[in-house]
Chains A and B, each alone.
Chain A
Amino acid sequence: MEKMGALFILAFSIAYGIYAFKIPLIFLSQGEALNARTMPYALSIADIVISLLIIILPGYDKDQVTTVRAALSGLDWKRTAWLTGLMLVYSLSMPWVGFVIASIFFMAGGMMILGERNFKVILIASVPLVVVLWFLLTKVLGMYIAPGELYYILGGGAI
């Protein structure tokens, strides 16, 4: 399994090394012993060498799992993918619907994805938590959390 990870790291290091060539250099720094590109070059080469060594040298897997399929089977990928998608939706929707609504929907959605079907439990575990947190942050700690665009569309904040 480590070899598979090393392959993943090797790909990352090669991509990093290619992008390191694209770092712009100012005229004076081109002759310097250590310029903006030096460290990325060194790190890229070091990681390529290390990951190649992991791939080439004999390895030891403490879990005795030799294939990727064996290591990744039996895992609940579907729910994890849904949860990741929900996180992304939360992040993208927050500027539009605001912190409170987006957070309540995230908590409720997360619980539903993980198998909670009792609507009362979902409501009790999400709404008070988010409202109390919002109150603590804005009213007690005095932090400014910008309301979403929806607030202004509905006429909030109008003088």
Chain B
Amino acid sequence: MINAPGEAATVATAIDGYPMARQGKPGKALAIAAYSSFSGGTIAVILLMLATVGTDQNSGVQRFTFGSMNLLDGLSFIMLAMATFAITEGFLMVLKRQETTGVFKAENLASINDLKVTRREFRKIAPTIGRSSLLGFFIGLAAPETGNNAASSGSFIPLLTLGIPGSGTTAVMLGALIAYGIEPGPRMFVERPEVFWAVIMSMYLGNVFLLILNLPLISYFARLLAVPRNILIPGIIFFSMIGVYLITFNNFDINAMILIAVIALVLRLFNYPMAPLLLGFILGGLMEDNLRRSLVIYDGSF
């Protein structure tokens, strides 16, 4: 309504919503946002459902395994992420016949290689970078890239202090920490200080290395755009399948990934977002465990 997105993810909403509000259609803008959020919520519940597949940690009962040994440990997070993002993206590129690659000819690549920033340009962008670093930490807006990097650090606060991921990125991070047997939360500061400080330091070192690697490698990254889609798409799908296969060396994961990718493709064609999916899957198990723990503490009283 007032062109002030509350977080990084709502910046895109503001791009469409604010002009609509100015045209005198604030109700419609809010309604569209509500419908879209509703779809996101529905997808999150679906993934909460998938999180219940496997052996129930409390009673040892098998749920939705259909008698298959492969499902006893539940579905793999990496497999779901690859199926819903990488493979689906590959399918969409084939379906929509997008000429997303191979369009950058040599002359386009030459212009991408231009890294020079003039003194005048630097003077122009310096205040925005400074302002966005501060604002981005809290709400993640303004100059996208500065705000982006600052906002990602900000979203680590609820993850590290409460164990609640504030964004898709931190949800992936939470999945990785849990995979290593580390439970983020207030106790993490005391029990695993080495992990906590390593995360803090790695965020800053990551920024430094991003700058060091980005600048000399820009021309090579850009050249990926010149790879014809006939070669790139099988490559994307191949590496996604191998990435999943090499974790468990089980072909079942590839088959499950294909099935989930087809379902995710249908949902994406029906305008359902895939980002809430990862949050739902990671938080599903945690939600059930903690609800059960609370009920035990309060003697089964809701």
* CB pair B39 A43 closer than 8 Å: no
Neighbour of B35 across the interface among A60, A116, A129, CB < 8 A: A60
Q: Does B254 contact A59, Cβ atoms closer than 8 Å?
A: no
Query: Which residues A30-76 have CB closer than 8 A to chain B?
Result: 32-36, 39-40, 43-44, 46-47, 50-51, 53-54, 59-63, 71-72, 75-76
Bound Cα distance A21, B114 (Å): 62
B91 within 8 A of partner (CB):
yes
Determine the chain A residues whose CB is within 8 A of the CB of B59 once the complex forms: 25-26, 29, 35-36
Closest chain-B Cβ to A132's Cβ sits at a distance in Å of: 13
Beta-carbon contacts under 8 Å, A116-159 to B = 116, 121, 125, 129, 133, 137, 143, 145-146
Residue from A40, A114, A116, A125 in contact with B63 in the complex, judged by beta carbons closer than 8 Å: A40
Other-chain residue from A40, A110, A121, A133 in contact with B234 (beta carbon distance below 8 A):
A110
A39 touching B238, Cβ below 8 Å: no
Count contacts between A and B, CB distance < 8 Å.
Answer: 169
Assess whether B96 is in contact with A24, with CB atoms less than 8 Å apart.
Answer: no
**In the complex the two chains form, what is the Cα distance from A12 to B266 in whole Å?**
13
A43 partner residues in chain B, CB cutoff 8 A:
45, 48-49, 52
Does B56 lie within 8 Å of A5, measured CB to CB? no
Q: Are A121 and B231 in contact (CB under 8 A)?
A: yes
In the complex, chain B residues whose CB is within 8 Å of the CB of A80 = 91, 94-95, 265
Is there an interface contact between A75 and B96, defined as CB atoms closer than 8 Å?
yes
A35 to B231, CA, bound (A): 50
Tell me, yes or no, whether B288 is within 8 Å of chain A by CB: yes
Tell which of B169-177, B214-222, B269-277 binds the partner.
B269-277
Chain A residue numbers with a CB within 8 Å of B265 are 80
Given contacts A32-B300, A47-B45, contact A83 B91 (CB under 8 A): yes
Tally of A interface residues using CB under 8 Å: 69
Chain B residues 53-77 with CB under 8 Å of chain A are: 56, 58-64
**List of B residues within 8 angstroms of A44 by Cβ:** 49
- Check B292–A34 contact: CB distance below 8 A: yes
Task: Provide the residues of chain B in CB contact with A59, threshold 8 Å.
Answer: 35
Name the B residues within 8 Å of A101 (CB-CB): none
A29 to B58: give the CA distance in the assembly, Å: 10
Asked whether any CB of chain A lies closer than 8 Å to the CB of B178, the reply is: no
Would you list 24 pairs from A and B whose C-beta atoms are within 8 A, ordered by A residue? A1-B269, A5-B270, A6-B42, A12-B46, A13-B49, A16-B64, A23-B62, A23-B63, A24-B61, A26-B60, A29-B61, A33-B300, A34-B295, A39-B291, A47-B45, A71-B269, A71-B270, A76-B94, A83-B94, A83-B237, A87-B254, A92-B251, A110-B233, A125-B235
A→B interface (CB under 8 Å): 1-2, 4-6, 8-9, 12-13, 16, 19, 23-26, 29, 32-36, 39-40, 43-44, 46-47, 50-51, 53-54, 59-63, 71-72, 75-77, 79-80, 83-84, 87-88, 90-92, 94-95, 103, 106-107, 109-111, 114-116, 121, 125, 129, 133, 137, 143, 145-146
19 new A-B pairs (CB below 8 Å) besides A60-B32, A79-B94, A125-B231? A16-B49, A25-B61, A29-B61, A36-B61, A40-B49, A43-B52, A47-B45, A72-B269, A80-B95, A83-B91, A83-B233, A83-B234, A87-B258, A91-B258, A106-B234, A109-B234, A111-B231, A116-B228, A143-B246
